[in-house]
Amino acid sequence: MAPTAGTTRDVIQEPANWRTVPFLLTDTAGMFGQSEDPLQKIVHEHGRKAVLNADVFVFVVDGREGLVPADYEIASAVRSTGRPVIVAINKTDDRRARAGSLDFYELGFEPVVEISAEHGQGIGDLLDEVIERLPAKTEEQKAEAPEPRIAIVGRPNVGKSSLVNRVLREERMLVSDLAGTTRDAVDTKFRWHQRQFRIVDTAGIRKPGRVARSGQVEAVSVLTARRAIADADVVVLVIDATLGASDQDGAIAGEAERAGRSVIIAVNKWDLVKGEGADFAKTFDDKLRFQLKFLEYAPIVHISALTGERTPKLLEAVERVLAERTRRVPTPELNRFLQEVTAAHPIASGGRKAVRILYAAQVGVSPPTFALFTNVQTELHFSYERFLKNRLRERFGFAGTPIRLQVRKRKH
Ligand code: GDP
């Protein structure tokens, strides 16, 4: 497949679009590889020339079959164009294919995306990579691109509605209310710093059912939060500065982590605790970190939805974590780094054979996902996994976003 801006003959082309960005998708089926038929050969040559005008190449390889000589032939043809090449490893629904995917990094292209055409897995990520590499988008297309979605969640009365209203009022840029696609809620679009955002709203957030018994209200708000989290890119977990975190906040945070969403902790009503002295913020945050242990990567922002203090900081944090979610670490840099780390702290193994990471690659974004190819079939101990994630964060950032590690025994 090769989306192209030009027009070609003799090849199958289909107009397509992703996230409102239109492009022409060219199928090169049968264009590469050997053929005995001289006529076929001429067609191939012709088609090839046309195809090599593409703006972006999606180089599809067969994960089950592994790297084959024909792949090198195609690699050199597309490399010679100097255009962006995305390697798509197909059939990675198969565990053996996933274990072998490391070989394709030898081709020397980035990014490498794992897909399953049959199961439709990874196709969205692949298309995101494609449109990112297309020649400059028009302003109109940029404006139409779907905006990042923010979910504002938390217990009743922490100030979620006040915060939503504050953000919208302060920025004075309410654009429109949009009917939700999957549920009967209404999302709100707004613009900030030239960028569009969307607040994922649920009926429950705007109109909390305060008439219900308090236990029920809590349960309902976790449910509402869960729906909002599923629809969001970034989750703003609002906590009342006068009350601190609760078990319910822990549950919401866990939900965000499992769903792979970025999280920012907004400690609201800071105006009420400002007089508490210089150490208060530190003591408060330490306690919060202790209570929400696994959210150590989430930035904490102290705000007041009532006065508007530091709410712009919250939006800055949203922008920052959005950028971190899609960060990609180049494979050579990642491997150098992991070699250093594992040399200093070898992986403890229960078995007889020492566990070594032979190679690593970032196989996904949003959330950043890393595959570690090992010499033996193993699982990382919880504490080692945590250690690696912390080192990755120290080195590469990834503020606010969960990190996923997958261990795969290398196929021989
Ligand atoms: P929600 O249930 O989480 O949506 O909370 P609301 O936005 O309805 O706020 C609950 C109460 O807290 C209201 O009385 C608000 O006026 C108040 N409140 C919200 N934010 C702040 C804040 O930053 N400071 C203070 N002092 N009060 C706030």
Q: What is the pLDDT of residues 287-337, one digit of tens each?
A: 999 999 889 999 999 999 999 999 999 999 999 999 999 899 999 999 999
**Ligand 1 within 6 A of CB of 222:** no
Closest CA to 232 of 131, 328, 318: 318
Domain ranges for the chain, please list them.
12-142, 149-325, 331-409
Report pLDDT for 141: 60
Q: What is the pLDDT of residue 18?
A: 87
- Same CATH fold assignment for domains 12-142 and 149-325: yes
pLDDT of residue 36: 57
Q: Which of 152, 153, 155, 157 to mutate to test the pocket of ligand 1 (most atoms within 8 A of CB)?
A: 157
How much of the chain exceeds pLDDT 90, in percent? 39
User: What are the tens digits of pLDDT across the range 257-278?
Assistant: 999 999 999 999 999 998 888 7
How does residue 355 score in pLDDT terms, banded at 50, 70 and 90? confident
CATH for the stretch 12-142:
3.40.50.300
CATH domain 149-325 topology: Rossmann fold (3.40.50)
> What is the arithmetic mean of pLDDT over 125-141?
80
* DSSP 3-state of 43: helix
The DSSP code sequence of 170-212 is HHT-EEEEEE-SSSS-EEEEEEETTEEEEEE--HHHHS--TTS
CA–centroid distance, 287 to ligand 1, in Å, is 22
* Whether residue 224 has its Cβ less than 6 Å from ligand 1: no
Lowest mean pLDDT segment, chosen from 108-122, 181-195, 197-211, 290-304: 197-211
State which ligand 1 atom lies nearest to the alpha carbon of 307.
Answer: 23
Three-state secondary structure call for residue 109: coil
| Cα 234 to middle of ligand 1, angstroms | 21
Are the C-beta atoms of residues 239 and 267 closer than 8 Å to each other?
A: yes
Question: What is the pTM (predicted TM-score) of this model?
Answer: 0.75
Query: pLDDT higher for 144 or 291?
Result: 291
CA distance 263 to 243: 20
Q: Given pLDDT bands bounded at 50, 70 and 90, which one contains residue 44? A: low
Residue 208 confidence (pLDDT):
41
pLDDT of residue 42: 59
Phi, psi at 174, each rounded to 5°: -55, 125
Over residues 385-412, mean pLDDT: 92
Q: State if residue 308 touches ligand 1 by the CB under 6 angstroms criterion.
A: no
pLDDT at 368: 94
Print the SS3 string covering 335-383. Answer: HHHHHHHHHHCCECCCCCCCECEEEEEEEECCCCEEEEEECCCCCCCHH
CATH superfamily name and code, 331-409: K homology (KH) domain (3.30.300.20)
